[in-house]
Copies of this chain bind each other. A is one copy, B any other.
Amino acid sequence: MNAAPSPRADARENRRRLIEATRQAISSRGLDVSALDIARAAGLGVGTLYRRFGTKEALLDAVVLGLYDELCDTARVYMTHADAWEGLCEFVIELAKGHRDSRGLAAVTAACDQQPSPELAQRTAALQEAVADLTERARATGLLRADVTWQDIIICSRAALDTQHCLGVDAGPEGWRRIITILLDGLRAPGHTALAGPPPRTTGF
């Protein structure tokens, strides 16, 4: 075994570049980026992309899986947060950031829903369990309103970012934080926190 002991250094570097470029491309233009655009952004030819990953889908899968892994790590961190409500809030914000970096991720999940790759299914299950756990911990403190489920939490984490994507630059680069704040206040049983960031300058609907 170990028939491929060490890929050439430039090949490895190009693979890294491709993944990084794909991340940024997905973040700014969604999951339907063309292979050519990704390769260009990585400063490589499209041939290299297909040689490294075989298919465009494989590249996207690798990137999405990486993001899921990071989210799993993040969840694990906030699970041990001293203040359960704070932990939930910060994780929701991190989850929103994750959505920012994998715009259209839900579309992929839905598309692969028929036959999700085992790895993706495993990560999805782990993340859901983590969110459910964080939700229960926060509810136990009495700071989270009783009538929301962990699914609601997930949806809230998306809402702000989806809006951000639709409104584009109008809401400012950090405009989603205002919506997250409003949502978290709506989730909180008592009291409110101050809105952060400058108000959005929306011009459309």
Q: Which residues of A contact B (CB under 8 A)?
A: 71, 95, 98-99, 104-107, 109-110, 113, 124, 127, 145, 147-149, 151-152, 154-156, 158-160, 162-163, 165-168, 170-171, 175, 178-179, 181-187, 189, 192, 194-195, 199-205
Minimal Cβ-Cβ distance residue in B for A198:
B149
Known: A147-B194, A162-B159. Is A205-B152 also a contact (CB below 8 A)? Answer: no
Q: Find out whether the CB atom of A205 lies under 8 angstroms from the CB atom of B156.
A: no
State how many angstroms separate the Cβ of A127 from the closest Cβ of chain B.
6
Known A149-B199, A159-B160, A162-B163; 5 more pairs at CB < 8 Å? A151-B201, A159-B183, A183-B186, A185-B185, A189-B192
Q: Which of A98, A104, A105, A179 has the most CB of B within 10 A?
A: A179
State how many angstroms separate the Cβ of A95 from the closest Cβ of chain B.
8
State how many angstroms separate the Cβ of A103 from the closest Cβ of chain B.
10
* Secondary structure of the A contact surface, majority rule: helix
Give bound CA distance, A19 to B70, whole Å: 46
State how many angstroms separate the Cβ of A88 from the closest Cβ of chain B.
14
Listed from nearest, the 3 A-B pairs whose CB atoms lie closest are A186-B186, A109-B204, A162-B162
With a cutoff of 8 Å between Cβ atoms, the chain B residues found around residue A187 in the complex are 182, 186
State how many angstroms separate the Cβ of A87 from the closest Cβ of chain B.
18
State how many angstroms separate the Cβ of A134 from the closest Cβ of chain B.
14
Give bound CA distance, A171 to B149, whole Å: 12
